[in-house]
Amino acid sequence: MVKEETQQQHKGLAEHSGLADIFNRDEQRVNWHDETLWFVRSKRDKAAHSLPEWELLRETASQIKHNVLSDLDTYLQQFEEQALINGVTVHWAADAREHNQIVHSILKKHEINRMVKSKSMLTEECHLNEYLKEHGVEVIDTDLGERIVQLAEEPPSHIVLPCIHKKKEEIGELFHTHLGTAAGESDPQVLTEAARQHLRESFLTRRLALTGVNFAVAETGEFVVCTNEGNADMGSHLADVHIASMGIEKIIPRRKDLGIFLRLLARSATGQPITTYSSHFRKPRAGQEMHIILVDNGRTVQLGREDFRNSLKCIRCGACMNTCPVYRRSGGHSYHNAIAGPIGSILAPNLDMKAYADLPFASTLCGSCSNVCPVKIDIHDQLYKWRQVLVKEGHVSPVKAMGMKVMAFTFAMPRFFAFAGKAGRVVMKYLPFVVSNKLNPWYKEREMPKPPKESFREWYKRERR
Amino acid sequence: MSSREKILAAVRANKPDLQPLPDVIIPVREEGLIEEYRRVAEGIGAKVYEVGGTAEVKELLAASFEPSQRIVSPLEDFADMAEGIEAGIDPHSFADVELAIVRAEIGVSENSALWVPEGNVSQRVIPFICQHLAILINRERIVPTLQQAYSLIGEINYGYGVFIAGPSKTADIEQSLVLGAHGPRSLRVFIVG
Ligand code: SF4
């Protein structure tokens, strides 16, 4: 993708449907993107169906998150108290700017101007890298996918698979330019090895490491970081200073609740039974300094929006993206927001209704997202509700407002939503006018992705017999 | 008002009515744990050996590693083939470790994860910085799911602990699985007893 276009998306200037057009210029790539994510989705199904207690886990996780949101102030204070006892410094940041300033002040205090960072969607949301660059700090993203998009000067296009939009030949070219691999080399094994060597040098020489947080336990003050690569641990165990940045909604009440969430997270994300590493950080190691930054940045506002507060239950597994027919055919960059896909489309308007008014329309409301969500967020309901809010507030063009009525009609037919996954396919197959009608702004002339005749679940059931 | 006060006040003003915190009891399976453990671990790229004792572990490792390579272990049983791990020294000094041999406290059959608390490795970086990792786990410490693992961990006050499942890996390039991202390139699990 052309760089200016990508940067433009990043600034939120363009609309989803127009950006999706850019992505759709390369038909082969779109097909590949679509199929690859569907493959990840299928792995998720297989992992979920292998656990008889899957639905019980989802329901429990959902209830725990409801409890957390309803008592968040108490849990945050309990977490802070425990973290302080553990010898960790706790910071509170009202918004992205304050978060970035806190990180910068810690760097300055230690006279550090080079750091490593493992995956943190929050720092993407806060545009930390750009901020630090302006202040003369070099940040190296150490997750392989993130390093790739960083070298390409692009934002990640997926919260779990940051460079899923890139072909290996393009990655080979980037590595040839930046890491000195042979021209034309595109073997994933060789490229990964080159990145390993390059990043190992970074781990060994940087004195400050920043990580994200997957879960923070109120009861103990510990936080858990999940990676497959081991980059969060390589960074933090070698650095003099470890900063962990987290949104305030990452809190869970008890350590034992990890037994619920860790069973759901990786299975939902990639179909793995668990990530390779689930690292529990409670105290700094001897001689190390550890900081936690608790970030609001609009979360308390979302908490107050009754129809949308449940989006704060999200554990960032990415399942709703992998299953979304619109995401798969339009690519993460078309959402011009740090978090793409269905969940990004309900989080973004909370921060800026005007800039992200297009996103809740980037959906067929097929409901597949809500079906796979491990914490049972009513994602497609919220997309529908955002449309109403955005129309009412005057952020939506008349064409879209019309299209919305057609969608509302489909939505109102309970038969189609009783089994949303199946229904989505039925709607696409028999009622194409509903989804590819001119009035549905997302589709324009584009064809819907061909719905698979049978879902993985159906196939799996049949194959097992 | 500080940001802390502002955030807490906003949460108080905006949070919904109190919802109950659920407890969950998942039915426990006790059968076929070792078989399940092996199948899941091998499925994610680990090698699994069932052994009678540490002598067998040493024999198996000696077949794959040269004495000239740097091997470290905090376990006294391995003092004849591995150097000890001194706590508190510069973690960077382990950058050239080829093999680390450590003990896990708990194994989980549903996902093959092994619980390795800080005390079992002396230095947090050890299971990550080594090129290859070997972990011993007692047969009777393998439980079916993470929930049982956490009830065994209970209230223990560790500074750091990690569940490790398989060697480090990535599929970031076109979803092609590559073992050995930043951490160990291989994981050998020895089920002892
Ligand atoms: S909304 Fe649900 S499915 Fe989507 S990323 Fe969040 S937790 Fe996963």
Higher pLDDT, A384 or A445: A384
Among the listed residues A156, A72, A151, the one whose alpha carbon sits nearest the alpha carbon of residue A120: A156
Query: Does the pLDDT value for residue A455 go beyond 70?
Result: no
Q: What is the pLDDT of residue A440?
A: 45
Q: What is the pLDDT of residue A402?
A: 60
pLDDT band at residue A404 under the 50/70/90 scheme: low
Q: What is the pLDDT of residue B25?
A: 72
Query: Does the pLDDT value for residue A12 go beyond 70?
Result: no
Among A62, A122, A158, A268, say which to mutate for ligand 1: greatest number of ligand atoms within 8 Å of CB: A268
Q: What is the pLDDT of residue A99?
A: 98
Q: What is the pLDDT of residue A462?
A: 45
Q: What is the CATH number of the domain that holds A173?
A: 3.40.50.10420
- Judged by average pLDDT, the poorest of A120-129, A239-248, A324-333, A422-431 is A422-431
Q: How far apart are CA B98 and CA B95, in angstroms?
A: 9
In CATH, the architecture of B29-192 is: 3-Layer(aba) Sandwich (3.40)
Among the listed residues A349, A351, A347, A378, the one whose alpha carbon sits nearest the alpha carbon of residue A365: A378
Q: What is the pLDDT of residue B92?
A: 96
Q: Work out the percent of chain A whose per-residue pLDDT is above 90.
A: 68
Q: How far apart are CA A316 and CA A436, in angstroms?
A: 30
The DSSP-derived string for A375-437 is T---HHHHHHHHHHHHHHTT-S-HHHHHHHHHHHHHHT-HHHHTTHHHHHHHHHHH-HHHHHS
pLDDT band at residue A229 under the 50/70/90 scheme: very high
Query: Does the pLDDT value for residue A7 go beyond 80?
Result: no
Q: What is the pLDDT of residue A11?
A: 45
Query: Helices in chain B by DSSP H: which ranges?
Result: 3-14, 33-43, 54-62, 126-129, 146-153
Q: How far apart are CA A116 and CA A133, in angstroms?
A: 13
DSSP B94: G
Q: How far apart are CA A460 and CA A289, in angstroms?
A: 50
- Hey, are the CB atoms on B162 and A300 less than 8 Å from each other? no
Query: Does the pLDDT value for residue A277 go beyond 80?
Result: yes
Q: Which of B95, B173, B182 sits opposite A191 (nearest CB)?
A: B173
ipTM surpassing 0.90: yes
The residues near A9 (Cβ < 8 Å, ≥ 6 apart) are: A19, A333, A334, A336
Among the listed residues B11, B98, B14, B177, the one whose alpha carbon sits nearest the alpha carbon of residue A304: B14
Q: How far apart are CA B166 and CA A266, in angstroms?
A: 14
Amino acid A372 reads V
Average pLDDT for chain A: 85
- Hey, are the CB atoms on A188 and B173 less than 8 Å from each other? yes
- Hey, are the CB atoms on B178 and A188 less than 8 Å from each other? yes
Question: Cα–Cα distances in Å, from B2 out to A197, A346, A430, B5, B7?
Answer: 44, 29, 57, 5, 9
Nearest residue (by CA) to ligand 1, atom 8, is A317
In a domain, A84, yes or no: yes
A306-318: average pLDDT: 96
Q: What is the pLDDT of residue B163?
A: 98
Q: What is the pLDDT of residue B1?
A: 86
In a domain, A243, yes or no: yes
pLDDT band at residue A5 under the 50/70/90 scheme: very low
Choose one of A300, A329, A350: the last residue of a domain: A300
Most confidently modeled range among A8-22, A348-362, B156-170: B156-170
Q: Which of A66, A144, A161 sits opposite B19 (nearest CB)?
A: A66
Residue A100 in contact with residue A126, Cβ under 8 Å?
A: yes
pTM, full prediction:
0.89
Strands A215-217, A223-227: pairing is antiparallel
Among the listed residues B182, B134, B158, the one whose alpha carbon sits nearest the alpha carbon of residue A145: B182
What's the domain range around A436? 413-464
Amino acid A174 reads L
- CA dihedral A52→A57→A58→A59, nearest 10 degrees, is 110
Query: Does the pLDDT value for residue B66 go beyond 90?
Result: yes
In a domain, A385, yes or no: no
DSSP B188: E
- For A252, which residue in chain B has the nearest alpha carbon? B21
Average pLDDT for chain B: 96
- Judged by average pLDDT, the poorest of A114-118, A263-267, A296-300, A349-353 is A349-353
Q: How far apart are CA B113 and CA B99, in angstroms?
A: 19
Q: What is the pLDDT of residue A285?
A: 96
In a domain, A218, yes or no: yes
Instruction: List the A208-211 sheet strands across, edge first.
Output: A89-93, A289-295, A241-247, A208-211, A114-117, A138-141
User: Is the same domain home to A43 and A190?
Assistant: yes
Q: What is the pLDDT of residue A394?
A: 86
Q: What is the pLDDT of residue A30?
A: 87
Q: Per the structure block, which two tokens stand in for A383? A: 């997309």
Q: What is the pLDDT of residue A436?
A: 42
Query: Does the pLDDT value for residue A341 go beyond 60?
Result: yes
Amino acid A15 reads E
Instruction: Delimit the domains of chain B by residue range.
Output: 29-192
Residue B111 in contact with residue B165, Cβ under 8 Å?
A: yes
- For A39, which residue in chain B has the nearest alpha carbon? B175
pLDDT band at residue A32 under the 50/70/90 scheme: confident
Q: How far apart are CA B127 and CA B124, in angstroms?
A: 7
CA A434 to chain B, closest CA, distance in angstroms equals: 34
Q: How far is the CA of A151 from the centre of ligand 1 (A)?
A: 27
Q: How far is the CA of A321 from the centre of ligand 1 (A)?
A: 8
- Judged by average pLDDT, the poorest of A68-82, A157-171, A350-364, B104-118 is A350-364
In a domain, A119, yes or no: yes
Over the stretch A108-167, which tens digit does the pLDDT of each residue have?
999 999 999 998 999 999 999 999 999 999 999 999 999 999 999 999 999 999 999 999
Query: Does the pLDDT value for residue B59 go beyond 70?
Result: yes
A258-276: average pLDDT: 97
Over the stretch A177-227, which tens digit does the pLDDT of each residue have?
999 999 999 999 999 999 999 999 999 999 999 999 999 999 999 999 999
In a domain, A267, yes or no: yes
Q: Which of A234, A286, A303 sits opposite B182 (nearest CB)?
A: A234
Query: Does the pLDDT value for residue A437 go beyond 80?
Result: no
Residue B102 in contact with residue B148, Cβ under 8 Å?
A: no
B121-126: average pLDDT: 97
Collect all residues of chain B within an 8 Å Cβ-Cβ radius of residue A72. Answer: 11, 15
Query: Does the pLDDT value for residue A393 go beyond 90?
Result: no
Number of domains in chain A: 2
Higher pLDDT, A422 or A103: A103
Question: Cα–Cα distances in Å, from A448 out to A245, A330, A438, B78, B126?
Answer: 39, 11, 13, 61, 50
Q: How far apart are CA A313 and CA A219, in angstroms?
A: 19
Query: Does the pLDDT value for residue B123 go beyond 70?
Result: yes
- Judged by average pLDDT, the poorest of A38-52, A284-298, A327-341, B168-182 is A327-341
Strands A138-141, A114-117: pairing is parallel
- For A192, which residue in chain B has the nearest alpha carbon? B181
Q: What is the pLDDT of residue A22?
A: 83
Q: Work out the percent of chain A whose per-residue pLDDT is above 70.
A: 82
Environment class of residue A284 by beta-carbon count within 10 Å: exposed (0-12), middle (13-18) or buried (19+)? buried
Q: How far apart are CA B22 and CA A59, in angstroms?
A: 10
Q: What is the pLDDT of residue B26?
A: 74
In a domain, A160, yes or no: yes
Over the stretch B153-183, which tens digit does the pLDDT of each residue have?
999 999 999 999 999 999 999 999 999 999 9
Query: Does the pLDDT value for residue B150 go beyond 60?
Result: yes
Give the distance, in angstroms, between the CA of residue A108 and the centroid of all CA atoms in the same chain: 30
Collect all residues of chain B within an 8 Å Cβ-Cβ radius of residue A41. Answer: none
In a domain, A215, yes or no: yes
Q: How far apart are CA A213 and CA A120, in angstroms?
A: 7
- Sign for the CA dihedral angle at A373, A379, A380, A381 comes to positive
Q: Per the structure block, which two tokens stand in for A244? A: 């962990």
CA A60 to chain B, closest CA, distance in angstroms equals: 7
The residues near B62 (Cβ < 8 Å, ≥ 6 apart) are: B81
